[in-house]
Amino acid sequence: MQKLRVLLAALPLLAAALPAAAQFGPQGPPAVGVITAERRPVTESTEFVGRVEAVDRVDLRARVTGFLQERLFREGQEVAANAQLFRLEEAPFEADVARAAAQVAAAEAELSNANIQLARARELVRTQAGTQARVDDATAAQRSAQATLLGAQAQLRVSQINLGYTVISAPFAGKIGRSNFSPGAVVGPDSGPLATLVSQDPMRVSFPVSLRLGIELRDRFEGRGGASAVLVRIRLANGELFNQSGRIDFIDTQVNRDTDTLLVRAVMPNPLRSVAGPTGEPERQLIDGMFVNVFVEGAEPVASVVIPRAAVLQDQQGNFVFVLGQGNRAERRGVTLGRSIADQVVVERGLEGGETVVTEGVQRVRPGQPVQPNPAAPPAVRTAPDGQAPRG
């Protein structure tokens, strides 16, 4: 029993006397993969879901009631501004213009006669052959004739305007949809839209941004020019990246109380493609109402510390990484992360660049523990939102 007690008391002394390599077994300190944290130019990008909207959109309606005589377009084609689209039967309105013109002529004749009667009454008063009462009556008749002429002229103008309404033209250039009425139908102000016209180039892209993220984006770009320092790009439903970029032109002045979001809108070119559509004309890629993925990117790259996402660990104190200190001992370093780029992540605070960061085997590392560093395997190249390798 006394010998056993002596052996137990000697075990701590023996352990302290063993070399450090023996404490880790035959393999020594754990092997880890490391990289050097470097500052690289990074284009910051944030993704949203948005909808394409036409800048101008109008439902074409008949402003007078009549028979639809002619449709002057092919459904789905692009039309120029002021191009004639529908024509209503004109004969009834031309007859109304003629009637109103006759009323104007009659009123002019009445006014002419009233002017003669007034002049005659005034002449008789000067020769004392007439009375002032007759002059007063003639003056009233002349003014009444003037008012009648003005009313007739106004009615003629209304008739001419109604005649002009028999031709329905495009208020702006755009693509016109299907026609809701065929020639021969009776249409009027209450019959509903004849067709819908939407502008094509440029188009708008609207997308909601959470208030928290909106404030973050504002703080990030306000020192670089605000909205002018941001580009907007979109990915179509088929996964294709649209080959044009846009600029933010509007941020809503009110927060949606139901979703706590701000509506942001960008303007984007929508040029013609070389592919012809059903009408035989070149088509455009952006269509009013379509859903797209929206990428809000910085116009200029920013030098940032970028490390592999696999190097970042998290606990109750937040995100952290292991960096190598003196004697290849692992040191915990708290970090604040920015945006992810493929399998890389931007470090906003915590690393200055030049540190040796553990990226492989981090699960085997403990703070203050010596490790055996080896160069980490290069990360696989992934495609960034712009269709190229991540910048930097």
Each residue's pLDDT tens digit, 324-350? 888 888 889 898 887 776 677 888 788
Domain 61-88+167-198 architecture: Beta Barrel (2.40)
Instruction: Let me know if the fold of 46-55+199-298 is the same as that of 61-88+167-198.
Output: no
Q: Which two tokens stand for residue 193?
A: 């839209």
Segment among 86-100, 121-135, 321-335 with least mean pLDDT: 121-135
pLDDT attached to residue 91: 94
Residue 294 exposed, middle or buried by CB count within 10 Å (0-12, 13-18, 19+): buried
Each residue's pLDDT tens digit, 249-272? 888 888 888 888 889 999 999 998
pLDDT attached to residue 226: 63
Helix (H, G, I), strand (E, B) or coil at 87: strand
> Which residues have CB under 8 Å from 298's CB, separation 6+?
43, 44, 45, 221, 224, 229, 230, 231
The pLDDT of 173-197, averaged and rounded, is 93
Which CATH code for domain 91-164? 1.10.287
Cβ 169 vs Cβ 82: under 8 Å: yes
d(C-alpha 310, C-alpha 361), whole Å: 10
pLDDT attached to residue 376: 79
Of residues 19 and 180, more confidently modeled: 180
Angle (deg, nearest 10), helices 132-164 and 91-126: 160
Arithmetic mean of pLDDT over the chain: 83
* Residue 130 predicted with pLDDT over 80: no
Each residue's pLDDT tens digit, 50-60? 999 999 999 99
Maximum average pLDDT range among 29-43, 122-136, 257-271, 347-361: 257-271
Which CATH code for domain 23-41+301-392? 2.40.420.20
d(C-alpha 342, C-alpha 388), whole Å: 11
The pLDDT of 355-372, averaged and rounded, is 86
Amino acid (1-letter code) at residue 260 = D
Of residues 110 and 126, more confidently modeled: 110
pLDDT attached to residue 183: 93
What pTM was computed for the model?
Answer: 0.65
Each residue's pLDDT tens digit, 191-234? 999 999 999 999 999 999 888 888 877 777 666 666 676 889 99
Of residues 22 and 33, more confidently modeled: 33
Percent pLDDT > 90 in the chain is 38
pLDDT attached to residue 342: 67
Domain-wise residue ranges, the chain: 23-41+301-392, 46-55+199-298, 61-88+167-198, 91-164
Which CATH code for domain 46-55+199-298? 2.40.30.170
pLDDT attached to residue 283: 85
